[in-house]
Amino acid sequence: MARGKFITFEGGEGTGKSTQSRILTARLMSEGRPAIRTREPGGSDGAEALRSLLVEGRADRWSPLSETLMMNAARRDHLERTIAPALEQGDWVICDRFADSTRAYQGAGGGVPAEFIATLERAVVGDNRPDLTLVFDLPPQIGLERAFGRDMFEVRFETKDIDFHNRLRAAYLAIARDEPGRCAVIDASGTEDEVAAVIWRTVMDRLAS
Ligand code: TMP
C-alpha cells in the first residue's frame, strides 16, 4: 500500500483555509482518492481538549512559550493517533494548520526563538513532514474583517493587534521563500471557485504522479 500524501493549509486569520480544505478533500474523494480532513490545534480527542484551552479566552491567557509547548503536545497526539495511521493506510491527509503555524504565531508573532521552535519541531514532527504546504496570502486587514463574527468563542488570536498579524504574514511568506519545494503561496483574494481551481492545479502538478 502506497503511503498517502500529507497536505497542510497555512496562513493568517480569515484567509479561507477551512473552506478550501473542505473543498479539496471532497474533490479528492470524488476522484477516487481516499482523503481525510483534520485540523490543528485538534484532530484527536486529546488535542481537541487542548484546543479549547488554547483558542478561547483572553489574548494574554497563555505566554507564547506556554502556547508553543501546548501546541506541540497537541501536535504529537494528533500525529500519533490521526495523521500517521491515515497516511500509512494510503489516505491523503488534508490538515488545516500544522507546524508552520507555530513558527509564525508563536515564533514571529510571539517572539519565541526560532531555534527552540525548530528543535521541538524536529522532535515532534520527525519524518512526518508535509508533502505540500499551501500558504494562503491575504492582507491581514481583509482577513480579520472576514474572520470576526464567525466564531464567538475562538477569537483569542484574532484579538491580537495588527502588528502581530503583519508579522504572521511576513513569516509565512518567508517560510514559503525558504522552502519552495514544499510550499506554494496561494493568493487568497479571489473568489471561492477561483481559489479552489488554483489549489486543485497546484496539488495535481506537485503530487499526482
Ligand atoms: P483556526 O482559527 O485556523 O482554527 O486556528 C486556531 C488558532 O490557533 C489560530 O488563531 C492560530 C492558532 N495557532 C497557533 O497560534 N499556533 C499553532 O501552532 C496552531 C496550529 C494554531
For residue 105, tell me if it sits in a domain: yes
pLDDT interval class at 29 (50, 70, 90): very high
66 class by beta-carbon count within 10 Å (0-12 exposed, 13-18 middle, 19+ buried): middle
Whether the bond into 41 is cis, omega within 30 of 0: yes
Which residue has a Cα nearest atom 15 of ligand 1?
Answer: 105
Q: Provide the grid cell at 142.
A: 481583509
What is d(CA 201, CA 207) in angstroms, rounded to the nearest whole number?
Answer: 10
Asked if residue 69 belongs to a domain, the reply is yes
Rounded to the nearest angstrom, the distance between the alpha carbon of 1 and the centre of ligand 1 is: 33
Ligand 1, atom nearest to 18 Cα? 3
Would residue 138 count as lying in a domain? Answer: yes
Q: What is the DSSP string of 136-148?
A: EE--HHHHHHHHT
| 156 in a structural domain | yes
Cα–Cα distance for residue pair 104/97, rounded to 1 Å: 11
pLDDT in tens, 145-165: 888 767 666 677 767 788 999
From the CB of 25, is ligand 1 less than 6 Å away? no
pLDDT at position 149: 66
**Residue 151 within any structural domain of the chain:** yes
Query: pLDDT tens, 74-99?
Result: 999 999 999 999 999 999 999 999 99
Q: In terms of DSSP bridges, do strands 35-39 and 6-11 run parallel, antiparallel, or are they unpaired?
A: unpaired
Tell me the Cα Rg of the chain: 16
Cell of 167: 508579522
> Which CATH number is 96's domain given?
3.40.50.300
**How many distinct structural domains can be found in the chain?**
1
| Residues found in the chain | 209
- Say what the pLDDT of residue 23 is: 98
83's CB contacts (< 8 A; 6+ apart) are: 6, 38, 43, 93, 95, 128
Do residues 182 and 133 touch, judged by C-beta distance below 8 A? yes
CA gap 186, 135 in Å, rounded? 6
Indicate whether 26 belongs to any domain: yes
Whether 101 lines ligand 1, by a CB cut-off of 6 Å, is: yes
Separation of 42 CA from ligand 1 center, angstroms? 10
CB distance 105 to ligand 1 below 6 Å: yes
Distances (CA, A) of 77 to 42, 82, 101, 126, 131: 9, 8, 17, 13, 20
> For residue 121, what are the CA distances in angstroms to 19, 23, 103, 129?
27, 28, 9, 10
Residue 50 lies in a domain: yes
Is residue 1 one of the residues assigned to a domain?
no
From 122, 165, 171, select the one nearest 147 (Cα to Cα).
165
| pLDDT tens-digit map of 160-203 | 788 999 999 999 999 999 999 999 999 999 999 999 999 999 99
- With a pLDDT cut of 90, the percent of the chain lying above it is 87
Does the beta carbon of 97 lie inside 6 Å of ligand 1? yes
pLDDT band for position 208 (cuts 50, 70, 90): confident
